[in-house]
Amino acid sequence: MSSVGLVDAGGANLGSVRYALERRGAQVRMVRAPADLEGVARVILPGVGAAAEGMRRLHAQALVEPLRALQVPLMGICLGMQLLFERSEEGGVECLGLLPGVVRRLTPALGVRVPHMGWNRLLALRPSPLLEGIPAGASAYFVHSYAAPVTSDTVAACHHGGLFAAMVQRGPLCGAQFHPERSATAGDRLLRNFLEIEHP
């Protein structure tokens, strides 16, 4: 199994993501500086917390431009997926800009709590290698107050007061708003699919 660079963006889920990857046989390298990206076959950007703090940490580690210039598959998880977009309403911060769109706060309503926390069903919108082996209507575990819009890059959506992007893919660029490391069989299969995704 080729090596996976796991970006230390300060999220509390870092250890659990690493364990989930190692359980799948991946050789994980922690990424805290640009040099740590050299030679890895794919990169995962996890994250929990606020967009502004996540971007501040990436800037402090001089990782923003290297992540934008990656030539290997990249997957953002939870906040990490939100950081792939142009900007976030959370703190009005400019993000990595790898995918078009603005991350916006979920809208509370009767019976709709924010943050969105717990299990929810995935609605597949288009074919993707990320969905291979994940049954229709599978559930995943979410913890978030902000979400990316449904666009042509959205592979699967989820409904919580309205539709939002739950999984995205544009070529080797991927993302999951939910936590695959906490999403049982569906999450484990997503990580497997990302580790096996073909790239030039």
Tokens of residue 78, six digits: 């939870």
Cα separation, 80 vs 47, in Å, equals 5
3-state helix, strand, coil in the chain (%, to 5): 25, 35, 40
Residue among 53, 181, 196, 199 flagged as catalytic:
181
Domain ranges of the chain: 3-196
Q: What is the mean pLDDT of residues 115-121?
A: 96
* Domain 3-196 superfamily per CATH: Class I glutamine amidotransferase (GATase) domain (3.40.50.880)
Model confidence at 195, in pLDDT bands (50, 70, 90)?
very high
Residue among 116, 144, 160, 179 flagged as catalytic:
179
DSSP 150: P
Does residue 199 surpass a pLDDT of 80?
no
Does the bond joining 115 to the residue before it have cis omega, within 30 degrees of 0?
A: yes
**What is the structure's pLDDT at 200?**
63
179 is catalytic: yes
78 is catalytic: yes
What residues contact 86, with CB distance under 8 A and at least 6 apart?
94, 95, 97, 99, 100, 101, 102
Residue among 78, 95, 158, 174 flagged as catalytic:
78
Does residue 119 surpass a pLDDT of 60?
yes
Helix axes 14-23, 184-196, angle to 10 degrees: 70
Q: What is the mean pLDDT of residues 115-126?
A: 97
Q: Give the pLDDT confidence of 148-174 residue by residue, as tens digits.
A: 999 999 999 999 999 999 999 999 999
β 85-88/123-124 pair status: unpaired
**What is the structure's pLDDT at 114?**
94
Does residue 44 surpass a pLDDT of 90?
yes
**What is the structure's pLDDT at 58?**
96
Does residue 1 surpass a pLDDT of 60?
no
Cα separation, 84 vs 163, in Å, equals 19
Cα separation, 169 vs 152, in Å, equals 9
